[in-house]
Amino acid sequence: MKIIIAGNLGYVGPSVATQLRNAFPDAYLIGFDIGYFMHCLANAPHIPEVKLDMQVFGDIRKFPEQLLQGVDAVVDLAAISNDPMGNKYEEITLDVNYRAAVNLAKMAKKAGVKSFVYASSCSMYGAASDYPKKENDELNPLTAYARSKVLTEKELAPLADNSFKITCLRYATACGFTNRLRLDLVLNDFVAGALINKEISILSDGSPWRPMINTKDMARAIEWAIIRKKEDSGNFLAINTGSNEWNNQIKPLAEAVAAMIPGAKVSINPTGGPDKRSYMVNFDMFKKMAPDHQPINDLKSTIQELKDNLVAMNFNDPKFRESNYIRLKVLSKLQEDGLINGQLEWKFKS
């Protein structure tokens, strides 16, 4: 089996490399990434990509079609991957997350690839609701990032057929430690704040609902998506990926972190108001269809793994919200330093 993982040099990528290497020891694994965050390593004994057979540097907006020859599965993680970046780079977010993804799927289908897995997001449900959203419920994308995911799913659907299976994994918010750590994700931010500043500062009033999933479980879901039988779950599938047990409000999440990090206090932003991006999600379909690939990491073990790794790497930056672990900061710095242009292309490549 030959598998391409596009966008592998980010936060989730190292977990996917580990999972696919373990699940398919003989597979030929190819990473493809533009490399914005490749240097942002955390507590890494080696670069995570040693588990791959090949690493290609390139822009998914100009994906080299010949790389798809003989490939069985494509996993697309490549993205401008959160709302703050999506707000700053709106058109590029649509180009990378949506247009390039659809184009890659079309090329993959033409090349005879059998399975295409797209990292979608539950953020497409968008606005506050008092019931957990199911796959067929109305979508309400509030940001460019969420819109990019909705548009992609819509255009991927008609491409699927008996010989080309497409799975859109609508992920809950990611959390947990990987060797390309992000601290712009809520739980990771809480653990870092609790350890360094003894303060978990909630930017909203703490009421929003936010389902969570550990990156290792995201990677297990990708393995499932590659091997799932389309006879059981369809040529095209868009599926909420997470677990009902991990639908949390922000405040109890912060309190769970405080309970595990002595001396840490929770502070709520009194002027923050309720964050509009609040959603509960129903993960019943994933539970039914992927019984052997259900999330196995829980809140406690995830907080513990974050804590242990941050301690092991002597993490002590009180201004971590300005650091290399914040995706938007890294992109902005690359641009300020003249390394990438306004289109987020490397300047030294034509």
Ligand X SMILES: NC(=O)c1ccc[n+]([C@@H]2O[C@H](COP(=O)([O-])OP(=O)(O)OC[C@H]3O[C@@H](n4cnc5c(N)ncnc54)[C@H](O)[C@@H]3O)[C@@H](O)[C@H]2O)c1
Nearer to ligand X, 147 or 182 (CB): 182
Under the binding rule (CB under 6 A), the answer on residue 144 touching ligand X is: no
Which of 60, 75, 192, 299 binds ligand X (CB under 6 A)? It is 60
Under the binding rule (CB under 6 A), the answer on residue 9 touching ligand X is: yes
342: left (phi over 0), alpha (psi -120 to 50) or beta: alpha
User: For the packed helices 215-227 and 13-23, what is the interaxial angle rounded to 10 degrees?
Assistant: 50
Tell me which residues in 152-211 interact with ligand X (CB under 6 A): 171, 173-174, 182, 185
Under the binding rule (CB under 6 A), the answer on residue 12 touching ligand X is: yes
Tell me which residues in 27-56 interact with ligand X (CB under 6 A): 33-37
In the numeric block, the tokens 């306004």 are attached to 342
Q: Where are the beta strands (DSSP E) in 232-315?
A: 236-241, 247-249, 265-268
**Helices and strands: H and E segment counts in the chain:** 12, 12
Q: Are 168 and 240 in contact (CB under 8 A)?
A: no
Nearer to ligand X, 25 or 29 (CB): 29
DSSP 8-state symbol, 50: G
Min dist. Cβ of residue 299 to ligand X (A): 15
Interaction mask 77-106, ligand X, x per CB under 6 A: xxx-x--------------x----------
Interaction mask 226-265, ligand X, x per CB under 6 A: ----------------------------------------
Q: Are 226 and 75 in contact (CB under 8 A)?
A: yes
Under the binding rule (CB under 6 A), the answer on residue 302 touching ligand X is: no
Min dist. Cβ of residue 80 to ligand X (A): 6
Under the binding rule (CB under 6 A), the answer on residue 7 touching ligand X is: yes
Alpha-carbon gap, residue 81 to 7, rounded angstroms: 10
Q: What is the DSSP string of 108-149?
A: HHHTT--EEEEEEEGGGG-B--SSPBPTTSPP---SHHHHHH
At residue 265, the 3 state secondary structure works out as: strand
Chain residue whose CB lies nearest ligand X: 10
Min dist. Cβ of residue 37 to ligand X (A): 5
Which amino acid appears at position 82 of this protein?
Answer: N
Under the binding rule (CB under 6 A), the answer on residue 119 touching ligand X is: yes
Sites of contact with ligand X (CB under 6 A): 7, 9-13, 33-37, 59-61, 77-79, 81, 96, 119, 121, 171, 173-174, 182, 185, 327
